[in-house]
Structure 1
């Protein structure tokens, strides 16, 4: 084989590999659906985090999400009460993700819910609230007011506050969870737990955040965390 032919073949091979590498790095939109494993339940408000480009997405009301990614990217899918899932992006633009229930966490939830109900019974001695107003409320405004100020009404409002707080904390979790924090700080184990405890934003601060705002908060907080650690040492 002539040298010129060898050189041409080598150039062709290099171009092919370069083209494949370029294609692998080119971003496209990944469309996916998240299910509970071994069921047909679609999971809403699961957080999807691309470890390379730091993009974040949330599943919608029917478990769907889309996110910018490239071939070879790792997507970390997280949801409260489920084990995290790591997915490597291939050439397909459509994916199905399955999350496994965290049974240990579910046991803890049952215990906590039981404690809440026991506290309400102890405080109000009225049993579990129904949240309903008496039928008489449709006939008399005074009855409606009584229904809202009675023990049952108080119990219902207490549950409502508890539920709303859970929703707010879920919103914060979308921007400030272990996967995202660890990926942007490198923290692990006890240091990660300490950082998340001390620098977790409240709902009012984060309710209008974009992904950029969430990551900026983590990085700015990590700088404060690092500066404090240096002073202590």
Structure 2
């Protein structure tokens, strides 16, 4: 084989290998090995993203040398530097105080439609395109789209029921305030149907309920386990 043809063949093989690589794995809870569905995996190097399925399994395009961040609400995020592409079991540790964290991006301006345009494009369904109904990429894109929608809703709740705002209304501080925030966090549906003054009334009513509890009951269930 001529040197030029050989070089071209090797380059083509390298390109095919690079673009066909991915990492598979499972995300579990440290200690219990409970599998975590909808854990968010982000490849910080190539900007690819994935969610774990109902059994905690995932697959994401990756190469050696890439850096992944794995996160899930209520757990400490983990960073993984890939020295190889062997199947991984990733363990996430529960937070001692399970206040919600921003897991998708460090940016305060969460705009997934702009940051993840391809996800929204792949999530579209076309009547004459069976792959958009049943294809793996299309199904994964729709799962990610729904995940982003829920994340946007949770961020609205975070903003309306923030530590600073709640702490300005009721006389709780430190750990007691954190416990209160966990125990009485409102739903997104409540937020949609109530305005600012209604939120203040809700916080005061919840505070009275909190103070009426015996001291040993003023802890979120998760923290008591």
TM-score scaled by structure 1?
Answer: 0.42
| Structure with the higher fraction of residues in helix conformation | 1
Q: Larger Rg: 1 or 2?
A: 1
